[in-house]
């Protein structure tokens, strides 16, 4: 029997598997629903190209949900197909996180883990940074024309340039700067590359692809393994400890299908209640407004984001790629929305996608901030974009693909909490969740850095 079974070889699962299997006495098995590739050298070229986002309608490497929400479905998860953005959440986010989940999630407590993870090629010797860690971090030195022009306009508008957006303790800093990227020698360096592949030769680590975990196996309130499907094959695998790293959508959906969730929803699905829990009752994401304008300049091969501008809870993103031919886009993302969403299931059938109601733009303050951000973008570009009213916002609304919080972290007495400060599911033995689903507060930056931090931290708790 396996000591530790990990569901999902995404960003969190790669980090967790590598750290736990470092102990030769612990057997680790990973189930991944999407494809895996035996070695790094067998990864398709497009997965190593940081300028390529393989998420279009033709891609078979993503989970798809309503309203154009996608998540990575392959070894490395979303970290294998994203834009390589790696900006730490500011200290204020960890202050809020630790207020909910305890002092171990304060900025001072997590900073050593950030340092150990990093190999920062530009600022590794600066306070709060690291050299020699598994994750290479660098900033672009030769910028695409659109990125360079955006930076020039930010400077002319009076914004401060911040060379290191990961500076220790950075807290709501207003300014623009080059994006820290997980790129090494021109190749995307997601967690599969930095963590899982270096560990794949260990005899105590097994990674199995094209295997969808459909339900948890429980004996009373103790998880003893999982049921899975692989093509037409069905099976069970038993383990001493099960860890969900399937992401904010699929980890929550798996709990609900297994009888751990809101009782009214479980009754509606015909699923026997094992443990009432507020799974899916609270989640958050970053709504993003796309401000587009005509441009005749062709695309240049580049990572999607080379510069960003932070203005309190707004992030302005000058995308190097044209999502619509002939149109340049600046994304205006609200990084600390007041509106929160909900995840539910329409069916207990694992093949039916979960439903995510983001509830974007529900709050007046959220709408006001996005209007302000869109107007600022127009001023920055010296262009008119028409009346920026609520109808315009809805017509140009998108998502940053940063869903989190469906299995919220907090103490047992917290009516919104699903897991404790170590990711252990309240009231259920031998079950941990270690991915973005447990983050209990909105994060003011893209979540990749927080994901690997979270997985590394929970892995450390598990080996103590």
What integer pLDDT is reported at residue 299 of this predicted model?
Answer: 78
- Mean pLDDT of all residues in the chain? 96
Strand-pair partners of 181: 85, 138
Asked whether residue 314 falls in the same domain as residue 395, the answer is yes
Side-chain-side CA neighbours of residue 54 (13 Å):
20
Q: Name the strand (E) or helix (H) holding 276.
A: strand 275-276
Q: What CATH number has the domain bearing residue 46?
A: 3.50.50.60
Asked whether residue 434 falls in the same domain as residue 445, the answer is yes
Asked whether residue 442 falls in the same domain as residue 385, the answer is no
- Better pLDDT: 191 or 296: 191
What integer pLDDT is reported at residue 1 of this predicted model?
Answer: 83
Residue 199 lies in a domain: yes
Residue 433 has pLDDT above 90, yes or no: yes
Q: Residue range 381-408: average pLDDT? A: 94
397-399 and 69-72 beta bridge pairing: unpaired
Q: What CATH number has the domain bearing residue 166?
A: 3.30.560.10
Asked whether residue 358 falls in the same domain as residue 331, the answer is yes
pLDDT in tens, 197-239: 999 999 999 999 999 999 999 999 999 999 999 999 999 999 9
Residue 464 labeled ligand binder: no
Q: How far apart are CA 146 and CA 160, in angstroms?
A: 19
Q: How far apart are CA 254 and CA 446, in angstroms?
A: 25
Q: Residue range 325-353: average pLDDT? A: 96
What integer pLDDT is reported at residue 385 of this predicted model?
Answer: 87
Nearest to 369 by CA among 252, 286, 275: 286
Q: Residue range 192-201: average pLDDT? A: 98
Asked whether residue 364 falls in the same domain as residue 410, the answer is no
| Boundary residue ending a domain (399, 418, 436) | 399
Asked whether residue 288 falls in the same domain as residue 169, the answer is yes
Asked whether residue 222 falls in the same domain as residue 290, the answer is no
What integer pLDDT is reported at residue 171 of this predicted model?
Answer: 63
Residue 97 lies in a domain: no
pLDDT in tens, 105-115: 999 999 999 99
Asked whether residue 156 falls in the same domain as residue 222, the answer is no
Asked whether residue 19 falls in the same domain as residue 157, the answer is no
Residue 169 has pLDDT above 80, yes or no: no
Cβ-Cβ contacts under 8 Å for 128 (sequence gap 6 or more) = 111, 114, 115, 166, 167, 168, 169
| Boundary residue ending a domain (380, 399, 418) | 399
Residue 79 lies in a domain: yes
Asked whether residue 278 falls in the same domain as residue 382, the answer is no
Residue 25 lies in a domain: yes
Backbone angles phi, psi at 360, to 5 degrees: -60, 150
Q: Which residues span the domain enclosing 85?
A: 2-90+187-282+404-463
DSSP state of 192: I
Residue 112 lies in a domain: no
CA dihedral 53, 361, 316, 54 (to 10 degrees): 0
Residue 192 has pLDDT above 80, yes or no: yes
Residue 168 lies in a domain: yes
Asked whether residue 247 falls in the same domain as residue 332, the answer is no
What integer pLDDT is reported at residue 464 of this predicted model?
Answer: 67
Residue 129 lies in a domain: no
Residue 118 lies in a domain: no
Count of structural domains, the chain: 2
Could you tell me the end-to-end alpha-carbon distance of the chain, in angstroms, rounded to an integer?
Answer: 21
pLDDT in tens, 120-167: 999 999 999 999 999 999 999 999 999 999 999 999 999 999 999 999
DSSP annotation string for 278-310: -TTS-BB--EEEEEEEE--SPP-S--S-SEEEE
SS3 224: strand
Catalytic residues: 402
Contact between residue 144 and residue 320 where contact means Cβ atoms under 8 Å apart: yes
Asked whether residue 392 falls in the same domain as residue 306, the answer is yes
Residue 358 labeled ligand binder: no
| Boundary residue ending a domain (351, 366, 399) | 399
Q: How far apart are CA 437 and CA 246, in angstroms?
A: 9
Side-chain-side CA neighbours of residue 19 (13 Å):
26
Residue 38 labeled ligand binder: no
Please tell me the pTM assigned to this model: 0.97
118-120 and 135-137 beta bridge pairing: parallel
Q: Residue 185 — pLDDT band, cuts 50, 70, 90?
A: very high
Side-chain-side CA neighbours of residue 285 (13 Å):
24
Q: Residue 296 — pLDDT band, cuts 50, 70, 90?
A: confident
Q: Name the strand (E) or helix (H) holding 236.
A: strand 233-244
């Amino acid at each position: 029997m396996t000591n530790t079974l990990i569901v999902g070889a995404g960003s969190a699962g790669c980090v967790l598997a590598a750290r736990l299997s470092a102990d030769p006495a612990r057997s680790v098995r990973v189930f991944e629903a999407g494809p895996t590739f035996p070695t790094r050298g067998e990864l398709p070229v497009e997965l190593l190209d940081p300028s390529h986002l393989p998420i279009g309608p033709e891609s078979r490497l993503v989970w798809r949900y309503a309203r154009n929400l996608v998540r990575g479905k392959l070894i490395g998860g979303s970290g294998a197909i994203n834009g390589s953005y790696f900006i730490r959440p500011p200290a204020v986010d960890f202050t809020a996180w630790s207020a909910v989940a305890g002092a171990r999630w304060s900025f001072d407590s997590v900073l050593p883990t950030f340092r150990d993870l990093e190999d920062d090629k530009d600022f590794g010797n600066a306070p709060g940074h690291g050299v020699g860690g598994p994750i290479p971090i660098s900033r672009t030195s030769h910028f695409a024309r659109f990125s360079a022009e955006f930076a020039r306009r930010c400077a002319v508008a009076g914004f401060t340039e911040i060379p290191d957006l990961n500076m220790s303790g950075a807290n709501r800093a207003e300014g623009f700067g080059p994006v820290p990227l997980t790129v090494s020698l021109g190749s995307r360096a997601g967690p599969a590359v930095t963590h899982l592949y270096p560990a794949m030769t260990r005899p105590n680590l097994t990674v199995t692809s094209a295997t969808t975990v459909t339900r948890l196996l429980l004996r009373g309130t103790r998880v003893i393994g999982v049921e899975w499907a692989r093509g037409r094959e069905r099976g069970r695998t038993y383990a001493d400890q099960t860890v969900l790293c399937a992401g904010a959508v699929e980890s929550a959906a798996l709990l609900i299908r297994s009888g751990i969730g809101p009782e009214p929803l479980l009754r509606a699905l015909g699923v026997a209640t094992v443990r009432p829990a507020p799974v899916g009752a609270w989640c958050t994401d970053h709504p993003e407004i796309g401000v587009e304008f005509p441009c005749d300049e062709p695309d240049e091969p580049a990572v999607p984001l080379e510069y960003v501008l932070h203005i309190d809870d707004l992030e302005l993103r000058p995308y190097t790629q044209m999502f619509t031919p002939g149109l340049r886009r600046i994304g205006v993302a609200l990084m600390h929305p007041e509106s929160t969403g909900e995840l539910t299931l329409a069916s207990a059938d694992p093949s039916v996608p979960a439903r995510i109601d983001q509830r974007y733009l529900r709050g007046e303050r959220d709408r006001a901030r996005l209007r302000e951000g869109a107007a600022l973008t127009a001023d920055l570009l010296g262009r008119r974009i028409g009346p920026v009213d609520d109808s315009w916002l809805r017509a140009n609304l998108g998502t940053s693909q940063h869903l989190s919080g469906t299995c919220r972290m907090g103490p047992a007495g917290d009516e919104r909490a699903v897991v404790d400060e170590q990711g252990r599911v309240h009231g259920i033995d031998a079950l941990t969740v270690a991915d973005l689903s447990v983050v209990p507060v909105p994060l003011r930056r893209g979540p990749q850095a927080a994901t690997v931090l979270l997985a590394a931290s929970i892995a450390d708790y598990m080996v103590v």
